C-alpha cells in the first residue's frame, strides 16, 4: 500500500467515503473521531518509509514460493443445512438478504 | 419498453464513428472451483456446492486450481498474447451479497497474458481485434430478486442467494478499443465473440454454453463525430449473453448515443443493462472508480511464475485453431473462403467435416447440411447441431442415394423418419418401404397402367412427340408415390412405346 502523502491528515469526507465503501453507518461525531484516529494509524504505518531499504525489493509474501497449485479434483462440499444455519435468514435453500442496495444512478 | 430517442442506424454513420470494446467472461470447464474442491456442476440444488473457502469463512485458505491456470495461459497463447513470467492474484474489495468474501479474487496489474490479437472476418473483410489482457478470477453467486415483477432488481423487496457459482473459475478477455469498423461495428462485435467461442471450444477449456451463462459479454460503445481526433465517452452494457444480443446491444447504443449527441447532450460514462425482449439498454449503477475497489495483492496465494519450459509445453500442445483449420478444410474440400464463411455462419463446419470423415464427399455433405437440413433447422428454429440426425447418418443417406437405393426425394422422406427417431437411414428405408423400385412386376404394371390410362398421350409419343413422355413418367411416379426411379421409368416407357 502507498504511504499517505499528507502526513497526519485525513478529511471527514475521506472517512465518510471509506465508511460508505465498507457499508458502515457512521455518525458525524464519529467521523471526526475516526479521522483523527485513522490519521494516527497512517502516521504509524508511514514510519516504514523511513527504513533504509533501497536494495530490498518490495514483496507481498513472506515465503519465497511460486506456482503452488492443487489438482482439479472435486472434494465434498458442506451440507446445505450447515451452510444455511450460518446465515441470518434463508428461504428455498437460498440465503435471504435484504433488498440489494438501490440502483445508484 | 424503451423511451429513448433513437437515430436511424444508417444516419448515425453519416455523422459519427463508433468505437467498440468487449470484455468477455468465460466460465472454465474445470470439475472443481478455482480455489477449493467444490463441484462446478451446473443446475445443482442451491447452496449444495459450497465450502468454507468459497463462502469466505474465517480461517479458510484458497489453493489455486492447476487446470484453471493452465487453461488461462492456453487461452492467452491461442490469442497470440505475451505470457507474463510473473503473475499474481489481487483482491478487489466491494460489498455485494453475491460475493461472500467481501472481495473477489481476481488479477489487477499482473495478469497472465497481455497484448494479443484475434482476426475476425465480416463480409470478406478482416478486422484485427487487439487483445489488451487475459486474466483469471472467480465467478460470483447468483441473486434471485424476490418481490419485483420479473425477478429484476427494481421493486424487489429482498433477494435470495445461491453460492454454487461463487468461486467457479472465470477467465476475462479484454479487447483494446476497436475503431474503424463503422457500419460493421455491430457485426464485428458479434463476429469477435463468435470466433472467440470457436477458439475456446477448440481448446476444450469451456463448454461455452451461452444459455447457461458460460460466456458473458460486457459491450463498450462510444461515438465520436466523424473526423474528430478524440474518442467519445463510452458506456458499458453488462451481461449481454448471446451472439445476437451482442450485435443488437452495439446497434442500440450507437442509435441512442447519436440521438443524445445530436440534441447537444453529453454521454455519461455508466454501466447499462441490456434487455433481451426489446433489444434496448437502460442505465445501471454508476461506475465505481477503480481506486474504490482498493485492489491489493492477495496475500493467501503465492505468485504464479510460468517459466519458458512450462509455457512452451502448453504452446506445443495447443490444438489446431479454428482459423487454420478453416483454411485447411477449404483447401481439402476445394471451396472458396466465402463458401467456408457460409458454413461457419450456419454452424456447419464440424458437421460437414464429420460427415466427410464418415465417407461422404465434401460436395454431398455440404449440399445436405446447407440445403435440406438447414431448411429443417430453420423451420424448427433450432441450431443445425441440435437436429436429431448425426453426421454418420447423413453420410449413410448420401451413400444410399449414391448406390441408387433411394433418390433425392425418397432421401428427404428417409430423413423425416430419421428425425422422427425411427432409426438409421437404412432402417427407415426398410421400415417405410422407401427403396427405389427396380424393374419389378409392380413397376411394369404401373407403366402399362399409365399407357392405358392416357391413350392420347401414348399416341403422341408413338407419333414422334418424344417430349410428351414426361406426362406418362409423371403418372407412373404418382402411382408409385415417388418410389420409382424416373430415368428407369422413362427407359421402360420408351421401350414399350417405340416397340409398339
**pLDDT tens-digit map of B419-476:** 888 888 888 777 877 777 777 777 788 888 888 888 888 878 887 777 888 888 888 8
User: Once rounded to an integer, what is the mean pLDDT over residues B150-166?
Assistant: 77
pLDDT above 90: residue B65: yes
Interface mutation vs chain B, best among A69, A88, A90, most B CBs within 10 Å: A69
Cβ distance of A86 and B57 shorter than 8 Å: yes
Please tell me the predicted confidence (pLDDT) of residue B483.
74
* Among the partner residues B51, B154, B283, nearest to A78 by beta-carbon distance: B51
pLDDT above 50: residue A1: no
What is chain B's mean pLDDT, rounded? 86
Contact status of A61 with chain B (Cβ, < 8 Å): yes
Q: For residue B284, which residues of chain A lie inside 8 Å, CB to CB?
A: 103
Please tell me the predicted confidence (pLDDT) of residue B291.
63
Contact status of A91 with chain B (Cβ, < 8 Å): yes
Could you tell me the strand order of the sheet in which B82-83 lies? B82-83, B113-122, B125-138, B169-175, B16-27, B215-225, B235-240, B270-275, B280-283
pLDDT above 80: residue B328: yes
Contact B232, B267 (CB under 8 A): yes
Please tell me the predicted confidence (pLDDT) of residue B127.
92
Q: Which of B152-156, B319-323, B390-394 has the highest mean pLDDT?
A: B319-323
Q: What is the pTM of this model?
A: 0.76
Please tell me the predicted confidence (pLDDT) of residue A4.
44
Contact status of A99 with chain B (Cβ, < 8 Å): yes
Query: CA of B96 to nearest chain A CA: how many angstroms apart?
Result: 8
Contact status of A81 with chain B (Cβ, < 8 Å): no
Note whether ipTM > 0.90 here.
no
Please tell me the predicted confidence (pLDDT) of residue A98.
85
* Among the partner residues A23, A73, A94, nearest to B32 by beta-carbon distance: A73
* Residue A26 pLDDT class (50, 70, 90 cuts): confident
Please tell me the predicted confidence (pLDDT) of residue B289.
58
Nearest to B191 by CA among B131, B121, B118, B252: B121
Cα-based distances in Å from B207 to B148, B189, B192, B198:
32, 21, 17, 10
Contact status of A25 with chain B (Cβ, < 8 Å): no
Query: CA of B267 to nearest chain A CA: how many angstroms apart?
Result: 14
Domain membership flag for residue A1: no
pLDDT above 90: residue A72: yes
User: Once rounded to an integer, what is the mean pLDDT over residues B80-101?
Assistant: 90
Please tell me the predicted confidence (pLDDT) of residue A104.
35
Query: CA of B291 to nearest chain A CA: how many angstroms apart?
Result: 11
pLDDT tens-place string over residues A10-25? 888 888 888 888 888 8
CA dihedral B362, B363, B368, B372 (to 10 degrees): 150
pLDDT tens-place string over residues B202-242? 999 998 887 778 899 999 999 998 888 888 888 999 888 88
Please tell me the predicted confidence (pLDDT) of residue B429.
79
User: Once rounded to an integer, what is the mean pLDDT over residues B155-176?
Assistant: 90
Contact status of A70 with chain B (Cβ, < 8 Å): yes
Domain membership flag for residue A3: no
Contact status of B305 with chain A (Cβ, < 8 Å): yes
Query: Taking the mean position of all CA atoms in its chain, how far away is CA B76?
Result: 20
pLDDT tens-place string over residues B261-300? 888 888 888 888 888 878 888 887 654 555 688 888 998 9
Enter the C-alpha cell of residue B360.
461422404
pLDDT tens-place string over residues A27-70? 988 888 888 888 888 888 888 888 877 787 777 777 888 899 99
For chain B, give the percent of residues with pLDDT over 70. 95
Q: For residue B57, which residues of chain A lie inside 8 Å, CB to CB?
A: 86
Q: What part of B 137-176 touches A (C-beta under 8 Å)?
A: 143-147, 153-154, 156-163
Cα-based distances in Å from B500 to B56, B147, B458, B459, B461:
95, 86, 10, 10, 11
Provide the number of structural domains found in chain A: 1
- Go through the domains of chain B in sequence order and give each one's CATH number: 16-314 (no CATH), 320-432 (no CATH), 441-499 (1.10.10)
pLDDT tens-place string over residues B330-375? 888 888 888 888 888 778 888 898 998 888 888 888 888 888 888 8
Please tell me the predicted confidence (pLDDT) of residue A7.
52
Domain membership flag for residue A37: yes
Q: Which residue in the block uniquely carries the three cell numbers 507474463? A: B84
Cα angle, residue B7 at apex, residues B2 and B11 outer, rounded to 5°: 155
Domain membership flag for residue A84: no
CA distance B470 to B490: 8
CA distance B289 to B287: 6
Q: Which domain holds residue A41?
A: 12-50
Instruction: Indicate the length of chain A as a whole number.
Output: 105
* Residue B492 pLDDT class (50, 70, 90 cuts): confident
Please tell me the predicted confidence (pLDDT) of residue B399.
82
Please tell me the predicted confidence (pLDDT) of residue A3.
43
Cα-based distances in Å from B317 to B78, B118, B159, B321:
11, 20, 45, 11
pLDDT above 70: residue A5: no
Query: Taking the mean position of all CA atoms in its chain, how far away is CA B396?
Result: 27
* Among the partner residues A70, A76, A95, nearest to B160 by beta-carbon distance: A95
Query: CA of B203 to nearest chain A CA: how many angstroms apart?
Result: 17
Contact A96, B160 (CB under 8 A): yes
Q: Could you tell me which residues come within 8 angstroms of residue B437 by beta carbon, excluding any fewer than 6 positions away?
A: B443, B480, B483, B484, B485, B488
What CATH number should be reported for the domain holding residue A31? 1.10.20.60
Q: For residue A20, which residues of chain B lie inside 8 Å, CB to CB?
A: none
Domain membership flag for residue A55: no
Q: Among all residues of chain A, which has the CA nearest to that of B41?
A: A74
Domain membership flag for residue A20: yes
Query: CA of A58 to nearest chain B CA: how many angstroms apart?
Result: 12
Provide the CB-side half-sphere exposure for B265 (13 A, CA): 13
Amino acid at each position: 500500500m502507498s504511504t499517505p502523502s499528507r502526513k497526519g491528515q485525513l478529511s471527514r469526507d475521506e472517512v465518510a467515503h471509506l465508511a460508505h465503501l465498507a457499508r458502515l453507518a457512521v455518525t458525524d461525531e464519529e467521523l471526526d473521531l475516526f479521522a483523527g484516529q485513522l490519521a494516527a494509524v497512517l502516521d504509524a504505518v508511514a514510519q516504514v518509509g523511513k527504513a533504509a531499504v533501497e536494495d530490498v525489493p518490495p514483496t507481498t509474501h513472506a515465503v519465497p514460493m511460486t506456482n503452488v497449485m492443487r489438482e482439479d479434483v472435486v472434494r465434498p462440499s458442506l451440507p446445505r443445512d450447515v451452510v444455511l444455519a450460518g446465515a441470518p435468514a434463508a428461504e428455498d435453500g437460498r440465503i435471504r438478504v435484504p433488498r440489494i442496495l438501490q440502483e445508484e444512478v | 419498453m424503451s423511451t429513448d430517442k433513437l437515430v436511424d442506424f444508417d444516419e448515425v454513420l453519416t455523422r459519427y464513428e463508433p468505437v467498440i470494446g468487449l470484455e468477455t467472461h468465460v466460465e472454465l470447464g474445470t470439475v472443481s472451483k478455482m480455489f477449493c474442491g467444490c463441484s462446478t456442476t451446473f443446475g445443482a440444488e442451491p447452496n449444495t456446492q459450497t465450502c468454507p473457502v468459497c463462502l469466505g469463512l474465517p480461517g479458510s485458505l484458497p489453493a489455486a486450481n492447476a487446470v484453471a491456470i493452465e487453461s488461462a495461459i492456453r487461452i492467452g497463447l491461442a490469442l497470440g498474447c505475451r505470457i507474463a513470467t510473473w503473475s499474481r492474484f489481487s483482491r478487489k474489495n466491494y460489498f455485494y451479497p453475491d460475493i461472500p468474501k467481501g472481495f473477489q479474487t481476481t488479477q489487477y496489474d499482473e495478469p497472465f497474458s497481455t497484448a494479443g490479437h484475434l482476426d475476425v472476418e465480416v463480409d470478406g473483410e478482416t478486422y484485427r481485434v487487439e487483445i489488451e489482457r487475459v486474466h483469471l478470477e472467480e465467478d460470483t453467486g447468483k441473486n434471485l430478486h424476490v418481490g419485483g415483477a420479473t425477478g429484476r432488481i427494481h421493486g424487489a423487496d429482498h433477494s435470495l442467494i445461491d453460492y454454487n457459482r461463487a468461486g467457479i473459475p472465470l477467465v476475462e478477455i479484454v479487447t483494446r478499443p476497436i475503431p474503424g469498423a463503422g457500419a460493421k461495428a455491430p457485426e464485428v462485435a458479434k463476429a469477435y465473440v463468435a470466433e472467440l467461442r470457436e477458439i475456446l471450444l477448440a481448446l476444450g477449456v469451456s463448454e461455452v454454453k451461452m444459455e447457461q451463462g458460460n460466456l458473458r459479454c460486457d459491450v463498450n460503445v462510444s461515438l465520436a463525430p466523424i473526423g474528430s481526433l478524440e474518442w467519445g465517452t463510452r458506456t458499458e452494457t453488462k451481461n449481454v449473453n448471446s451472439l445476437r444480443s451482442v450485435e443488437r446491444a452495439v446497434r442500440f447504443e450507437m442509435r441512442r448515443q447519436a440521438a443524445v449527441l445530436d440534441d447537444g447532450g453529453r454521454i455519461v460514462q455508466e454501466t447499462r443493462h441490456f434487455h433481451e425482449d426489446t433489444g434496448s439498454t437502460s442505465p445501471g449503477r454508476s461506475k465505481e472508480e477503480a481506486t474504490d475497489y482498493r485492489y491489493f495483492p492477495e496475500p493467501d496465494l503465492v505468485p504464479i511464475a510460468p517459466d519458458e519450459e512450462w509455457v512452451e509445453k502448453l504452446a506445443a500442445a495447443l490444438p489446431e485453431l479454428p482459423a487454420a483449420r478453416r483454411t485447411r478444410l477449404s483447401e481439402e474440400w476445394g471451396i472458396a473462403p466465402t463458401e467456408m464463411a457460409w458454413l461457419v455462419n450456419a454452424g456447419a463446419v464440424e458437421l460437414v467435416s464429420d460427415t466427410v470423415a464418415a465417407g461422404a464427399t465434401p460436395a454431398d455433405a455440404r449440399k445436405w447440411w446447407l440445403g435440406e437440413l438447414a431448411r429443417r433447422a430453420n423451420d424448427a428454429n433450432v441450431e443445425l447441431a441440435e437436429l436429431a440426425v448425426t453426421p454418420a447418418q447423413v453420410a449413410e443417406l448420401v451413400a444410399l442415394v449414391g448406390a441408387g437405393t433411394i433418390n433425392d426425394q425418397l432421401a428427404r422422406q428417409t430423413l423425416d423418419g430419421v428425425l422422427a427417431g425411427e432409426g438409421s437411414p437404412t432402417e427407415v428405408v426398410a421400415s417405410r418401404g422407401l427403396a427405389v423400385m427396380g424393374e419389378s412386376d409392380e413397376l411394369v404394371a404401373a407403366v402399362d397402367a399409365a399407357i392405358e390410362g392416357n391413350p392420347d398421350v401414348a399416341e403422341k409419343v408413338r407419333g414422334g412427340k418424344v417430349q410428351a413422355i414426361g406426362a406418362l413418367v409423371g403418372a407412373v411416379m404418382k402411382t408409385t408415390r415417388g418410389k420409382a426411379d424416373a430415368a428407369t421409368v422413362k427407359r421402360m416407357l420408351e421401350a414399350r412405346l417405340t416397340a409398339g
